[in-house]
Structure formats: C-alpha cells, structure tokens
Amino acid sequence: MNGPAGATAAPPAVELRDAAMTYADGTQALQPVGLRVAPGEFLTLLGPSGCGKSTLLKMIAGLLRPSAGEVRLWGGTVDALEDADRRPAFVFQAPTLMPWASVRANVRLPLDLAGVPAAEAEARVHDALALVGLADSARALPRTLSGGMQMRVSIARSLVTRPQLLLMDEPFGALDEITRNKLDAELLALWQGRGLTVVFVTHSIQEAVFLSNRVVMMAARPGRVVDEVRIDEPYPRAPEFAVSERFSQHARLLQQSLLQASGGADAGAVRGAAARGERA
Amino acid sequence: MSRPPRGGERAGRVRRVAYPLLVGLLFLAAWQGTVSVLGLPPYLVPSPALMVKTLAADWSTLGAALLVTVRITLLAFALATAIGVAISFLFVQSRLIEAAFFPFAVLLQVTPIVAVAPLVIIWVKDPGTAMVICAALVALFPVISNTTLGLRSVDPDLLSYFRLYRATRTQTLLRLRIPSALPYFFGGLRISSGLALIGAVVAEFVAGTGGTGAGLAYQIMQAGFQLDIPRMFAALFLISLTGMALFAAMAWFSRMALGSWHSSEALRD
C-alpha cells in the first residue's frame, strides 16, 4: 500500500507557507494556505469552481508566483530545482497537445526542450506510450484520437521526464464517466507503480474519495482551504470500493463539509464538524 | 499521415471545381448570347469568342506582358511576405514595440497606393524595382496583421507547458508560436497575393512604362487609347486568371501545410 512515506525524515514534496494570491486589481483569488504534501502521497484538492484549486496548483508548479508566502518543492524553491525529475510535471484539464505534431512528437516535447539525446528520448517515449497503452498510436495525430486517448497522451508526456511529482488539474473532468473511471484506475496503478507524489484537482467528490490518501477541501469567494480529510483505505482500490458503504461514508463526510463551507460556515466550524465525523 | 481520399472527400473536391466551372460556362454562354442577339458592336462589348480570338492573335505581346506583370507580382509578394513576417516576429517580442510601430503599418495600409506610387517611381531610378516596391507596399499589411495575430494566438496552456519545461524564447517560437501562427499566416497570404497583383497593375498604370518592360496594365492603357476593346478584355482576362491562379496556389500551399491537422482544412467536405 502506498502512503506518505518518510514524512518526517525527507523534506516534503510540496510545502506551502502561507502562500496567497491577490491579483493586481485587488481580487483575492486565494487566502494564505499552509500545506505539506509528503513524498509518495496522493493528495486531492476538492472544491467548487472559483475556489482557487487551479491557482494553488499553478503556484505549486511555478506557473504563478504567490503574491505572499512561499512555495517549496523538495525543500527548495521551484526555480532552484536543477534535477529534471524533481521538477513537477503538469497535466492540464484539456489534453493540451500540439495538433500539428504526432503523438510521438507530443510526448517527446519535454525531452526535446531539455536537450535529451535522440536515442534516449525515443526509448523513453516508447516506454511512456506503452505505459498508457498507446504504443500503437505513436504516429497518429491528436485529432484522430478520442478524448480519453488524448488525455492518455497528455499523461504519457508528463511521465516521460520521469518526474517524482505529478500535478493534475481536473484532467478527466471533460470525459464521460466510464472513461473517467477507467483512467482513474490507471492513474492509481501508475502512482503505485512509480512511487509518484500526486497533487490532483477535481470537483468530483467520488473521484477524490476513490483516488486519494488525503483530500483538502476548498471554498470560494475568497478561495480558501476549509478542511482536510484522510481517506484511510487500502490500495489497490478495486472498482467495488466505489460502491461500498465505506466509500459512501467518506463521500458523505466530504459532501457535508463542502456544503457547510459553501453555506457560509467559517473554516474552523467546518473543521470541527469534520473532526467529529470520520476524520482520521 | 496520408491516407487514400474517401468518397466524400473526392465528391467535395469535384464540387469545388465543377460548380464554379459550371457557373463560369453559363456566364460565358449568356454573355455570348446577349452580344449575338443584341448585335452589340465589338468596340462596346466584345463577345467571349472574339476575346479568345484576340488573345490567340496577340499572344506574343500579351504573353510577354503577362510575364512582366506576373514577375512584378511574385517579387512584390515575396518581398511583402519576407518583410511582413520579419516585422511580425519583431512585434511579438514585445507589446511595446508593437504599440510603437503598429500604427505605422496601418498608415501604409490606408494610404492609397496611387498617391504613393509617383513618389516611389521618382525616388527609385529603376522602374521595375519601383513597381515591385509599390506592389509590395500594398501587399504588406495583411501579412503583418495576420502573422502577428497568429504568433500571439497560442494556446495559453501550451504556452504554460513550455514555460514549465523552461523552454527558451527560440524553442517557444520555433516549436509553438510558428506552427500555431500558420493558419493565420496562410490566411494573410491569400489576401496578400491578390493585393500584390492589384499593386503591380496600379504601379504599372502610374509608371506607364512601355517597351519590352510593359506589363498587362500598359497593354490595357494602349488598347484603351486605340479603342481596341477586345484586346483590353483579353488583357483583363489574363489579369483575372493570374489572380485566381495565385489564390489557388495559396489555397494549395495552405492545404499542404494544414490539411492534416487544422480544422480549416482538415474538416473540409
């Protein structure tokens, strides 16, 4: 079973120290957030639209600079990360593929940008495509693939650099439920097999429960963290888990917490309510 | 990836050629019929048959003039494309540069070429070069405008992705901005190729150069002076044909470059 490994000894994979985001026009997108993600953890940011989940994720990736506070990865700042595998990989909500380039060229992109020699790059691309079950589609153009396959290409592209930290911004939100469930299961297998640390954004309670070690719940206007809940369930999580009573209990707890947060309850009250529930 | 054309695609291609051809033939038939039935004199409206006959009879003069006009058009078009793309690359380096210089690009566009051409012809000694410059000035703006828009119209998530992997400016330009700009660039070329031809004809009119360097515009002027209307129509026909050929060539290039991936070409019926 995977889980937060070495949380005390090793530096956290991600650490936010009162990181906040206020835009130049004064809009507060995110109130100060303090958060630590242990190496090997699968953490989900769950909340309604506009709660700052994506902003938080982009701050972790270094795509947005916090207006206050600090973001550290593996004990250092994002800019100071020299090892390519320490740099976070990012999967966007849309597949974000280059439509003019083949699947192979898309997956190879981060290696080409980093100047990885061609032979090594080709081998890695082959491995990454095999990992997501698309080895036969290497020469296809993105538009000839289904939405689920395009998302697999996007995941292969993020894995080709062999990252230790994977950031995913509602990657399966636009897919049908059957495809989403399949990709969720595949993602869990990848996470376990590769010992990845994953920070996953979703607004689906079911997806959060199925995937995560820990769920951080957020509320909107202004964006803020209101609660966090552990999902202490064993891995691998079979599809039957999604229809079990335990799953429903976790889902209910998250739902109550989110409802309280969106109903105007302050973060402390929500945390208290969650603590009286099944919070680990 | 190439694959054999499907039945629907082939039918679409046939439609794209056959329908305009049919309309053109109907128009010519109506024109021929009107001239014959009403007995219109050739110095007012020549029939298409007479126009074709004149074209064949005067081919040595008109063909040579066509080559001159086509040469000016192509040189001007190439010049406008090269300069336009270079300026666009400069514009996307900084919003400040674009803000400072874009109004002058607009100025070029809105100033009538007939007003500028005499100046260019005075300043540049060689009439051929002067005409190329005039035509290039007319053709320049769509290339600048479209290519700049294209270079800026990059998927923001893809741009973030390039930033995430610390892509250099050159890598982002070559691997992301240029391919993203291609559909806009080819749109600009379609407009610009036609404008280069218009610019060449206008410049020839203003320059009024005769002799061996005379283009189709000069032939039209001469035919007008001599009231040789069938010849004027023949020259006009050649200009129209050149414009259509240029447009078709640009459409072909666009299809070759974008056909496999961009919806503007890939999803044509």
pLDDT tens sequence across B154-197: 999 999 999 998 899 999 999 999 999 999 999 999 999 999 99
Distances in whole angstroms, Cα of residue A200 to Cα of each of A41, A124, A185, A203, B39 = 11, 24, 14, 10, 81
Residue B66 C-alpha, separation from nearest chain A C-alpha, in angstroms = 38
pLDDT for the residue B213: 66
CB contact under 8 A, B167 and A63: no
Q: What is the ipTM of this complex?
A: 0.81
Each residue's pLDDT tens digit, B77-96? 999 999 999 999 999 888 89
Chain A residues touching B183 at Cβ < 8 A: none
* Residue A144: closest C-alpha in chain B: B261
Flag whether pLDDT at A195 surpasses 60: yes
Q: Which of B157, B162, B167 sits opposite A94 (nearest CB)?
A: B157
| Residue in the block written with tokens 């060229």 | A105
- So what's the pLDDT on residue A7? 44
| Domain positions in chain B | 9-38, 64-266
- Please judge whether B175 and A62 are an interchain contact, meaning their C-beta atoms are less than 8 angstroms apart: no
Percentage of chain B exceeding pLDDT 90: 66
Q: How far is B160 from chain A (nearest CA, A)?
A: 7
What CATH class has B64-266?
Answer: mainly alpha
Q: Which residues of A touch B260 (CB under 8 A)?
A: 100, 141
- Which pLDDT belongs to residue B261? 81
Give the residue from B175, B182, B183 showing the smallest Cα distance to B159.
Answer: B175
Is pLDDT above 60 for A253? yes
Asked whether the predicted pLDDT for residue A186 surpasses 60, the reply is yes
Residues of A with CB under 8 A from a CB of B: 58, 61-63, 87-88, 90, 92, 94, 96, 98-102, 109-110, 112-114, 139-144, 161
Q: How far is B84 from chain A (nearest CA, A)?
A: 23
Q: Is the pLDDT of residue A18 over 50?
A: yes
Q: Does the CB of B171 have a partner CB in chain A at under 8 Å? A: yes
Going from N- to C-terminal start, the domains of chain A cover: 96-162
| Residue A271, pLDDT above cutoff 60 | no
- Tens digit of pLDDT for each residue in B107-150? 888 888 888 888 998 899 898 999 999 999 999 999 999 999 99
Q: What is the mean pLDDT of chain B?
A: 89
3-state secondary structure chain A: CCCCCCCCCCCCCEEEEEEEEECCCCCEEEEEEEEEECCCCEEEEECCCCCCHHHHHHHHHCCCCCCEEEEEECCEEHHHCCCHHHCCEEECCCCCCCCCCCHHHHHHHHHHHCCCCHHHHHHHHHHHHHHCCCHHHCCCCHHHCCHHHHHHHHHHHHHCCCCCEEEEECCCCCCCHHHHHHHHHHHHHHHHHHCCEEEEEECCHHHHHHHCCEEEEEECCCCEEEEEEECCCCCCCCHHHHHCHHHHHHHHHHHHHHHHHHCCCCHHHHHHHHHHCCCC
pLDDT at B72: 95
More confident residue, B36 or A262: B36
The reply to whether residue B158 touches residue A98, judged by beta carbons under 8 angstroms, is: yes
CA distance A91 to B156: 14
Are the C-beta atoms of B193 and B77 separated by less than 8 Å?
yes
Q: Do B164 and A61 touch (CB under 8 A)?
A: yes
To the nearest whole angstrom, how far is the Cα of A164 from the nearest Cα of chain B? 15
pLDDT band at B266 (very low <50, low <70, confident <90, very high): low
pLDDT per residue as tens digits for the range A121-154: 999 999 999 988 899 999 999 999 999 999 999 9
